[in-house]
């Protein structure tokens, strides 16, 4: 029986048994085991890991753990450039696109509201989610850590929050997307791209009050749904403004970054 010594940092401790959080602990193993398999056996999906140091040296997921190794495992670095150091995750995707697990319908609507390409159906099977993430280069969002342990999933995130609005803030912060928000570009219902629609071409589909009081319309190229700047638009604007204020609060608090790096 061999023994290695592990220390997980910051939010990776969310996945550990309480007795193993925020400290170095011994882990016994037999035979030749990769660092990736060992980390996931301890409960941490590989998609959550950004850097692994073994005896102070950066390694990738294929490293075979040896007896007496001292392993430090770090989450994604949001404000520190570690590009000179080997990273275990693939390079960031050229486009930020998501596919969401079946219980995240409200989060999908919020992401679409902010302009992010977000696939969602309430009947997706696990295999479909994994394959869509892999084939289309989409970040898999889920609360099921088992899904993120699938070898095909290279980009994913395990949501900690259960409230959909807090989940949205969590995703924006995790992937540093506050500056990439472009609202009212996608259909909330189907994720299709919105295009400007001439009133004359769609007026037969409008209620009389809508025809009378509104002139600016958008039309979904996917499902045909029509959007205009009614009372719902103002509510959405207020919601987005609250997100912006939340971001300002995060960036102005020196304790936030420090707290996420401690442990």
- Asked, for residue 210, whether it belongs to a domain, the answer is yes
The average confidence (pLDDT) of the chain is 89
- Asked, for residue 45, whether it belongs to a domain, the answer is yes
Residues 66 and 118 reside in one and the same domain: no
Residues 238 and 222 reside in one and the same domain: no
Q: Please give the model's pTM, rounded to 2 decimal places.
A: 0.83
* Overall domain count for the chain: 3
H, E, C per residue of the chain: CEEEEEEECHHHHHHCCHHHCCCCEEEEECCCCEHHHHHHHCCCCHHHCCEEEECCEEECCCCECCCCCEEEEECCCCCCCCCCCCCCCCCCCCCCCEEECCCCHHHHHHHHHCCCCEECCCCCCHHHHHHHHHHHCCEEEECCHHHHCCCCCCCEEECCCCCHHHHHHHHHHHCCCHHHCCCCCECCCCCCEEEEECHHHHHHHCCHHHHHHCCCEEEECCCCCEEECCHHHHHHHHHHHHHHHHHHHHHHCHHHHHHHHCC
- Asked, for residue 138, whether it belongs to a domain, the answer is yes
pLDDT-derived band at 230, boundaries 50, 70, 90? confident
- Asked, for residue 174, whether it belongs to a domain, the answer is yes
Residues 117 and 176 reside in one and the same domain: yes
- Asked, for residue 30, whether it belongs to a domain, the answer is yes
Boundary (domain end) residue, out of 12, 42, 74: 74
At residue 80, does pLDDT exceed 70? Answer: no
Residues 8 and 48 reside in one and the same domain: yes
- Domain containing 38: what range? 2-74
At 136-148, the pLDDT tens digits run 999 999 999 999 9
Residues 253 and 163 reside in one and the same domain: yes
Average pLDDT for 117-134: 97
- Asked, for residue 256, whether it belongs to a domain, the answer is yes
- Asked, for residue 87, whether it belongs to a domain, the answer is no
pLDDT-derived band at 259, boundaries 50, 70, 90? very low
Burial of 47 (C-beta count, 10 Å sphere; 0-12/13-18/19+): buried
HSE-up of residue 249 (Cα within 13 Å, Cβ side): 7
- Asked, for residue 86, whether it belongs to a domain, the answer is no
At residue 47, does pLDDT exceed 60? Answer: yes
Residues 113 and 129 reside in one and the same domain: yes
At residue 89, does pLDDT exceed 80? Answer: no
pLDDT-derived band at 243, boundaries 50, 70, 90? confident
62 φ, ψ (degrees, to nearest 5): -85, -10
Residues 36 and 66 reside in one and the same domain: yes
**In sequence order, what are the residues at sequence separation of 6 or more whose Cβ sits closer than 8 angstroms to the Cβ of residue 42?**
6, 8, 15, 16, 20, 27
CATH of the domain at 50: 3.10.20.30
Residues 152 and 220 reside in one and the same domain: no
């Amino acid at each position: 029986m061999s023994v290695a010594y592990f220390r997980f940092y910051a939010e990776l401790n969310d996945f550990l048994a309480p007795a193993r959080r925020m400290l170095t602990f011994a882990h016994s193993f037999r035979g030749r085991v990769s660092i990736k398999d060992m980390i996931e056996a301890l409960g941490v999906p590989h998609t959550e890991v950004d850097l692994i140091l073994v005896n102070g040296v950066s390694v990738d997921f294929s490293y075979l753990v040896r007896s007496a190794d001292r392993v430090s495992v770090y989450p994604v670095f949001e404000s520190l450039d570690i590009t000179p150091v080997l990273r275990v995750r693939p390079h960031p995707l050229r486009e930020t696109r998501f596919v969401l697990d079946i219980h995240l319908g409200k989060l999908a609507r919020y992401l679409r509201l902010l302009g992010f390409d977000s696939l969602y159906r309430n009947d997706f099977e696990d295999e479909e989610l994994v394959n869509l993430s892999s084939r289309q280069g989409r970040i898999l969002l889920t609360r099921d850590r088992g899904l993120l342990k699938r070898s095909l999933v290279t980009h994913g995130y395990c949501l900690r929050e259960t409230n959909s609005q807090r989940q949205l803030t969590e995703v924006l912060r995790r992937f540093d997307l506050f500056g990439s928000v472009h609202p009212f570009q996608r259909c909330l219902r189907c994720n299709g791209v919105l295009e400007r629609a001439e009133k004359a071409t769609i007026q037969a589909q409008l209620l009389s009050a809508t025809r009378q009081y509104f002139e600016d319309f958008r039309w979904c190229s996917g499902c045909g749904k029509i959007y205009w700047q009614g009372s719902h638009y103002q509510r959405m604007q207020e919601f987005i403004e609250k997100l912006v204020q939340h971001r300002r609060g995060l960036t102005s608090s020196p304790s936030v970054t420090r707290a996420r790096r401690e442990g």
